[in-house]
Amino acid sequence: MLAFEAVRVTTDDGAELLHGVDAAVCPGTVTVLAGPSGAGKSTLLRLGNRLEVPSHGVVRFHGRDVADLDPLELRRRVGMVFQKPVVFAGTVRENLHVADAHADDLSLGRVLERVGLGVALLDRQADDLSGGEAQRMCIARALLTRPEVLLMDEPTSSLDPANRRAVEALARELAAEGLGICWVSHDLDQVRRLTDRVVVLVEGRVADAHEAARYLGAGDARGADDAGTARDARGGDDAGAAGDAGGRAGERPA
């Protein structure tokens, strides 16, 4: 559904942030981009809805080069949840109307309940929400555009353990309903809990099997192939099978 094909990102001063990366996000799966800080995880994620553009290579959505798609329409179909909640001034209702100005309170209440909040929050000032509530409101706002893919850039890094688990559980539920989730994390415990497929990045490139095994932990690296990029980190079945770009990335189901 969302495919990264030999993407490179080079800065104006010649530094290469991504080196020919292949990866894919498939419907109904949680794909985690893992790796140490500075490995290029967030840069790759941001290519998915054109918050950044590749210097070389192609990003495709349903087979079409995203450069040929209207950016606003793409971002409605490929949503983004950032590390820190993006909260606008005003009420929760007003924040949700940023995504759908015509949504009525019934629709807004349903999407809030979908993320574990309640309709009673609609009139609350968004600035008064807790960190966990604010992040879930942001997920609700993203869901209002009915995306097919949700890009999540370390969305739980600033949350307490209870809210972290709640957002993880929500991601799993959304994937079970068919949404493609791409989640950035360097929390290995979270990777093991959450992922159907994992792509390990090291210094801007896809890790080989040995590097991936060392990073993830040898006891959990079974199933990585010679490219070391993707496997079922939760020990499940082949729900994490690669999509149309999988073979190019050396990715395969565990």
* Rg value, the chain, Cα: 18
Q: What is the pLDDT of residues 111-167, one digit of tens each?
A: 999 999 989 999 999 999 999 999 999 999 999 999 999 999 999 988 889 989 999
Q: Between 234 and 223, name the one with better pLDDT.
A: 234
CATH of the domain at 68: 3.40.50.300
Tokens of 190: 């979270």
- 106 in a structural domain: no
- For range 8-37, the mean pLDDT: 95
24, 60 Cβ separation under 8 angstroms? no
Distance from C-alpha of 249 to C-alpha of 24, rounded to nearest angstrom: 8
* 71 contacts 221 by C-beta, under 8 angstroms: no
**Calculated CA dihedral for residues 212, 218, 224, 227, nearest 10 degrees:** 30
229 has pLDDT over 80: no
Note whether 239 and 180 are within 8 A (CB): no
Domain count for the chain, please give it.
1
Task: Specify if 157 maps to a domain.
Answer: yes
Most confident of 81-85, 91-95, 112-116: 91-95
Q: What is the pLDDT of residue 223?
A: 35
Whether 230 has a pLDDT exceeding 70, the answer reads no
25-78 pLDDT tens trace:
999 999 999 999 999 999 999 999 999 999 999 999 999 999 999 999 999 999
Burial 51-70 (b: 16+ CB within 10 A, else e): bbebeebbbbbeeeebeebe
Structural domain includes residue 122: no
Residue 110 included in any domain: no
Phi, psi angles (nearest 5°) of residue 149: -130, 140
Task: Say what the pLDDT of residue 130 is.
Answer: 93
In the predicted structure, residue 226 carries a pLDDT above the cut 60: no
- Mean pLDDT taken over the chain: 87
Q: Is residue 104 part of a domain?
A: no
Residue 137 lies in a domain: no
pLDDT at 104: 97
Closest residue by Cα to residue 179 from 30, 28, 23, 1: 28
Is 115 within the bounds of a domain?
A: no
Q: What is the pTM of this model?
A: 0.84
Domain span holding position 153? 2-83+147-249
Strands (DSSP E) contained in 118-226 are: 149-153, 180-185, 197-202, 205-206
Q: Are strands 64-65 and 56-61 parallel, antiparallel or unpaired?
A: antiparallel
Q: Is residue 56 part of a domain?
A: yes
